Amino acid sequence: MKSSVCNIPNIETKESNIHPHQGFITRDKRNQELGHQSGVVWLTGLSGSGKSTIANQVERMLFQQGYTVSILDGDTLRSGLNQDLDFTKEARAENLRRTGEVASLFSKTGHIVLASFISPHHKGREIVRDIIGDNFHLVHIDANLDDCITRDPKGLYKKAMFGGIENFTGVGQDYEKPDSVDLIVNTSDNSIAECTMQLVTFVKSQFAL
């Protein structure tokens, strides 16, 4: 990790001095009011596999149908909260730990969170699963590496192949395929509309009251 932010001494924040305040509005009350359960749908997959594309389609469709749904996207988090982190294994884990905490807060306030993060390592995905606990669903947005390289929507594979990006998943660093997932959406074999419907159907079934 580049930042000194992660190395700030823990003097003022000793666990024993921290007493989180419990509010009156419970998660259950919020869920009853909003008409569905809340939680996190974690989309993992290669860059260019379609995580952001599918998440945005799903968010729009669910929102139009009255769901309280939000997106957390890797590039957005890395533009702000996590801008001090690079792409080493350790920094990726910290990126996901912080994001997991944010996703957890959203889900406690009633949101269905669609989180789009390459999250290439088992360890990072386990960190977020542990933070979020109940109602965490791991979805693999699966596409062949060759398809992702051909799509290359941000030109990043090209850049990585010419040595312009260190630790780029699929080029300089491995993507560890998840062993156990709740859903696989294959974007190499299915259209954007089909993939969207697969995920919408999944979310509706998992988050029904």
Ligand X SMILES: Nc1ncnc2c1ncn2[C@@H]1O[C@H](COP(=O)(O)OP(=O)(O)OP(=O)(O)O)[C@@H](O)[C@H]1O
CA distance 1 to 127: 17
Burial class (CB in 10 A: 0-12, 13-18, 19+), 179: exposed
CB-nearer residue toward Mg ion: 73 or 94? 73
Q: Of Mg ion, ligand X, none, which one sits near residue 126, judging by CB under 5 to 8 A according to partner kind?
A: none
Q: Of Mg ion, ligand X, none, which one sits near residue 195, judging by CB under 5 to 8 A according to partner kind?
A: ligand X
By the rule CB under 6 A, 151 interacts with ligand X: yes
CB-nearer residue toward ligand X: 8 or 192? 192
CB-nearer residue toward Mg ion: 34 or 115? 115
> 125, 44 in Cβ contact below 8 A?
yes
Q: Is 119 a catalytic residue?
A: yes
Burial class (CB in 10 A: 0-12, 13-18, 19+), 2: exposed
Among 179, 191, 205, 208, binds ligand X (CB under 6 A): 191
CB-nearer residue toward ligand X: 77 or 132? 77
By the rule CB under 5 A, 119 interacts with Mg ion: no
Q: Of ligand X, Mg ion, none, which one sits near residue 196, judging by CB under 5 to 8 A according to partner kind?
A: none
Q: Which two tokens stand for residue 148?
A: 């992702």
By the rule CB under 5 A, 169 interacts with Mg ion: no
Distance of CA 158 to the CA centre of its chain: 24
CA distance 162 to 175: 19
Residue carrying structure tokens 């989309």: 43
CA distance 27 to 188: 37
By the rule CB under 6 A, 92 interacts with ligand X: no
Site of interaction with ligand X (CB under 6 A): 45, 47-54, 74-75, 116, 118, 151, 153-154, 187, 190-192, 195
